[in-house]
Amino acid sequence: MVDQSQGRDIPSKKKRYFRMVIVLSVIILLNVAGTWLGHLVNFQLFPRHDAMLHSFLMVSIVLYILLMATPFMPGIEVGLAVMLLLGSKSALLIYLCTLVALSVSYLVGKFFPLPHVQKLLKWLYMERASELVSQLEPLDQTARLSLLYEKAPTKIAPFLLNHRYATIAVVLNLPGNALIGGGGGIGLVVGMSQLIPFYKFFLVVSVAVAPVPLCLYLQGL
């Protein structure tokens, strides 16, 4: 009986790994596509295109917001291209666009149907995570926090929950955070969790993403 049970488990593990590889491949593809778009915009905004500079600038700003709001997309590449073109004067513009992008990702996550997330987790054979999402769905913020404290598998999770505002600020500034979802992925997950109201998320993000644009602006004075 044990052997038969193990035999049935092997295909499930293979399917799980195969589906995880598919998801990882999509993530890598998104990341590469975002980087390519960033380099493309950087080239197109070269000063020799003065006649079309305004149009390309508007396109790059919209593209930056879309990339920043999309999980696993390195939108910062486009932002840097704009800042290199316009100099320190564009720091405020990029800062405001970043706030818009992260706000969009949060709101998309907030109104995204959790049953779809549950189905994705089941498709990946992540039954415990799927069950947890199912339990969280009907709860309010306080009840969700209580359940997460109860279900947290390690001591690290409660620490992160207790310091969730600082955690968001730190993760947003991690180098290479596109590999863990980027700003768009972070905003999406925070919105889905509904552990932080929008105005508090906006305040945290406003402070967290300010240092780099502020430094660039001060260097140009």
- pLDDT-above-70 percentage for the chain: 78
**pLDDT confidence of residue 8:** 47
pTM for this predicted structure: 0.75
* Pairwise pLDDT comparison (178 vs 207), residue with the higher score: 207
For 200, the token pair is 């508090």
DSSP 118-185: HHHHHHTT-HHHHHHHHHHTT--HHHHHHHHHHH--SSHHHHHHHTHHHHHHHHHTSTTGGGGTHHHH
Fill in the DSSP letter of residue 75: T
Q: Give the model's pLDDT for residue 118.
A: 80
Nearest CA to 38 among 85, 77, 64?
77
Q: What is the pLDDT of residues 44-88, one digit of tens each?
A: 555 555 556 677 777 778 888 888 888 877 666 667 767 777 777
Residue 25, pLDDT > 60, answer yes
pLDDT of residue 5: 47
pLDDT given for residue 6 in this prediction: 47
Kindly state the average pLDDT of the residues 213-220: 79
* pLDDT above 70: residue 197: yes
Compute CA distances 104 → 26, 83, 186, 200, whole Å.
22, 22, 12, 15
Mean pLDDT in residue range 83-108: 86
Mean pLDDT on 116-132: 77
Rounded to the nearest integer, the mean pLDDT of the chain is 78
- 31, 18, 48: which is closest to 184 by C-alpha? 31
Higher pLDDT residue, 4 or 57? 57
Average pLDDT (148-161) is 76
Tens digits of residue pLDDT in 129-145: 778 778 777 878 788 87
